[in-house]
């Protein structure tokens, strides 16, 4: 049946429908050479277990049946956390860390668990211990593969997502040595610099990335297009901070800097649009998308790069316009548990006399919608 996927799927579902006991399911998976539980069955078990205690009991049983399925192990880890069994969660996390076959996703989940525990620890000693354990779990992503650029990038992104920008910069600098031809590295170094409050350094890195972009990628595509979108966003944040601090001198300098950086875009776009909306994020396991009705129907943002954590769209200034931030519904619970945030930045009348900049955090809740709508009014952004 391997040559006919439809027939194979029907056959597999028929076999699963006849499975009545865990032992039979284990035999089926062994016969098929599978080492993991069917994700749909795992999701069903989680739905059927209505309380954390029930989920703990069910996941413990499944871990015994599927000791090499890390999705099952992580489901147990979540259940222990939800059930308030902090000791059990730490014990399972350490047993997983001791395994030589876990991947970056598992290291990430363990690190995130410890960081969440550290935020609610009552003892300063426990808080310090959990925080160190979280950092250690992240660091182990590259410990056994120090020359893997993908692992190095993930570690840098995790550190940046949690606000450890200096450490993230070190990881990106190492990445630059490992992958000297990677055009995305200056973008990452710019993000680390911006996080440290070094806006000018960030813009210089972005200018370097823009100069290294491939012309064939188009004006809004490739590293060069991403660099322009990030530059526009970072400089908007800088102007917003200067206005809030009533620092007119700093604001004037930033307006002049942005005018030079964005001059080409303004002349090409100002006749048609007056609103720029961008969505930025850092966490490697946060996967939002930005949509708008700028062309009359819902479409994904045409500019940016999800791999670099930015999406951008330019909007006509008209009544009823809105943008949406979406994640896949099956990622909602995991995204909410991570607590990772994106930032929505909307700039009205960019660099004009009536410029207004709105910067909003975007966070998903486990019981909330997987699509968040933001209405773009006359200088205002409100949740729809």
Domain range for 205 is 199-269
381 strand-pairing partners = 376
Rounded to 5 degrees, what are φ and ψ at 278? -135, 150
Task: Specify whether 40 is located in the same domain as 8.
Answer: no
Question: Between 104-120 and 70-82, two packed helices, what is the crossing angle to 10 degrees?
Answer: 10
Residues 366 and 308 in one domain: yes
Question: 347 and 322 share a domain?
Answer: yes
Q: Is residue 64 part of a domain?
A: yes
State which of 186, 214, 238 marks the end of a domain.
Answer: 186
Domain count across the chain: 4
Residues 166 and 212 in one domain: no
Whether residue 153 contacts residue 129, with contact meaning beta carbons closer than 8 Å, is answered with no
pLDDT tens, the chain, 384 aa long: 667 767 776 777 677 667 666 566 667 767 776 677 888 889 999 999 999 999 999 999 999 988 889 999 999 999 999 999 999 999 999 999 998 888 899 999 999 999 999 999 999 999 999 999 999 999 999 988 899 999 999 999 999 999 999 999 999 999 999 999 999 999 999 999 999 999 999 999 999 988 754 444 444 557 888 999 999 999 999 999 999 999 999 999 999 999 988 876 654 455 345 899 999 999 999 999 999 988 888 999 999 999 999 999 999 888 889 999 999 998 999 999 999 999 999 999 999 888 999 999 999 999 899 999 999 988 899 998
Residues 166, 224, single domain; the answer is no
Instruction: Please indicate, yes or no, if residue 321 is contained in any of the structural domains.
Output: yes
**Torsion of Cα atoms, 345 then 350 then 356 then 359, to 10°:** 10
CA angle in degrees (0–180, nearest 5) for 234-338-347: 25
Final residue belonging to a domain, choices 150, 165, 186: 186
Residues 178 and 227 reside in one and the same domain: no
Closest CA to 210 of 147, 261, 169, 174: 261
Q: CA-CA distance, 172 to 91, in Å (whole number)?
A: 32
| Same domain? 19 vs 57 | no
Residue 194 lies in a domain: no
CATH number of the structural domain spanning residue 54: 1.25.40
Report residue 118 as tokens: 């550290």
Same domain, yes or no: 38 and 1? no
Domain final residue pick, 229, 254, 269: 269
Asked if residue 191 is part of any domain, the answer here is no
| pTM, rounded to two decimals | 0.86
């Amino acid at each position: 049946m391997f040559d006919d996927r439809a027939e194979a799927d029907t056959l597999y579902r028929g076999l699963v429908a006849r499975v009545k006991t865990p032992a039979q399911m284990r035999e089926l998976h062994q016969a098929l050479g599978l080492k993991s539980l069917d994700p749909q069955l795992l999701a069903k078990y989680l739905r059927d277990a209505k309380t954390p205690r029930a989920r703990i009991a069910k996941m413990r049983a499944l871990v015994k049946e599927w000791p090499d399925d890390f999705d099952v192990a992580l489901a147990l880890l979540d259940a222990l956390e939800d059930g308030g069994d902090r000791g059990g969660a730490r014990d399972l996390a350490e047993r997983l860390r001791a395994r030589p076959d876990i991947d970056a996703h598992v290291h990430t989940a363990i690190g995130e668990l410890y960081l969440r525990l550290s935020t609610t620890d009552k003892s300063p000693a426990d808080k310090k211990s959990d925080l160190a354990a979280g950092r250690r779990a992240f660091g182990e992503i590259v410990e056994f593969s120090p020359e893997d650029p993908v692992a190095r990038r993930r570690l840098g992104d995790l550190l940046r997502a949690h606000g450890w920008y200096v450490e993230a910069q070190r990881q990106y600098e190492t990445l630059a040595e490992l992958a000297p031809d990677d055009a995305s590295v200056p973008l990452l170094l710019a993000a680390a610099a911006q996080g440290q409050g070094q806006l000018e350094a960030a813009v210089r890195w972005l200018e370097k990335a823009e100069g290294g972009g491939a012309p064939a990628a188009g004006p809004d595509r490739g590293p060069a297009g991403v660099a322009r979108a990030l530059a526009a966003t970072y400089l908007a944040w800088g102007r917003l901070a200067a206005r809030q601090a009533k620092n007119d001198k700093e604001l004037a300098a930033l307006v002049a800097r942005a005018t030079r950086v964005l001059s080409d875009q303004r002349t090409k776009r100002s006749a048609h649009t007056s609103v720029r909306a961008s969505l930025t994020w850092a966490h490697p396991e946060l996967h939002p998308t930005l949509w708008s009705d700028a062309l009359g129907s819902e479409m994904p943002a045409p500019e940016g790069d999800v791999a670099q954590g930015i999406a951008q769209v330019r909007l006509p200034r008209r009544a009823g316009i809105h943008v949406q931030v979406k994640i896949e519904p099956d990622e909602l619970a995991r995204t909410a548990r991570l607590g990772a945030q994106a930032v929505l930045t909307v700039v009205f009348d960019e660099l004009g006399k009536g410029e207004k900049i709105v910067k909003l955090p975007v966070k998903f809740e486990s019981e909330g919608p997987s699509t968040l709508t933001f209405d773009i009014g006359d200088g205002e952004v409100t949740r729809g």
